[in-house]
Amino acid sequence: MTVEEGADQRPWLDHIGFAVPDIGPAAELVMSALGGEFQRGGDNHDYGFRTAQFHLRGEVKLELLQPVDPGSDLQRFLDERGPGVHHVTFLTDDVVGLERDLTSCGYRTTGTKLDDPNWRETYLGPSQGLGTVLQFADTVLDWHTPWPGIELADVMAGALTWDGARLRR
């Protein structure tokens, strides 16, 4: 990867996403044994999953993903591979520049979406991404502060719809 002299353009680890059949038991493990603090979540109907994010000690978050649509890619993932690591997300200051660097090094990115200024992203698939999906994104949003008034029980009850930075009850 090309890096300008004196500039650190490396992406940093933001979160690890785990596919699970049910967020409830997984959230109990994350909160009780790992000391995770619930931050945000909701249902994403475009992709057919429910998500809950937790802050762990340090600056890393853990995301739990549960299918809510039996025809979703996430359900297929669980059917084929079972529960486990689904993706690893890295943030960068410039996803366009990082994608350019990745392709100049011979990697094939996929799923690039640049139309939402709140969250621009690209991916490396498992065959190039150390056996799992690597997601790279840049964002202007604060993803380290919990969303006020949001409880894990609301997420688990399907009471919240989450589409990127937009949350609806």
Q: Flag whether 4 is in a domain.
A: no
Is the pLDDT confidence value at 124 over 80?
yes
- Work out the average pLDDT over 68-76: 96
Model confidence pLDDT, tens digit, residues 2-52 = 444 445 678 999 999 999 999 999 999 999 999 999 999 999 998 999 999
Q: What is the mean pLDDT of residues 94-104?
A: 95
Residue 143 lies in a domain: yes
**Does a structural domain hold residue 1?**
no
Residue 79: both structure tokens together: 């059917």
Q: What is the CATH number of the domain that holds 122?
A: 3.10.180.10
Residue 161 located in a structural domain = yes
> What sign results for the dihedral spanned by CA atoms 132, 137, 141, 145?
positive
Q: What is the pTM of this model?
A: 0.89
Count of structural domains within the chain: 1
Is 6 part of a structural domain of the chain? no
Residue type, 66: Q
Hey, is 15 helix, strand or coil?
strand
Q: Examine residue 122 and state whether it is found in any structural domain, yes or no.
A: yes
Please, are residues 62 and 34 in contact by the beta-carbon 8 Å criterion? yes
Q: Are 55 and 41 in contact (CB under 8 A)?
A: no
Range(s) of the domain holding residue 45: 12-168
Q: Look at residue 2 in the predicted model and tell me its pLDDT.
A: 44
Does residue 7 belong to any structural domain of this protein?
Answer: no
35, amino acid identity: G
Indicate whether 111 belongs to any domain. yes
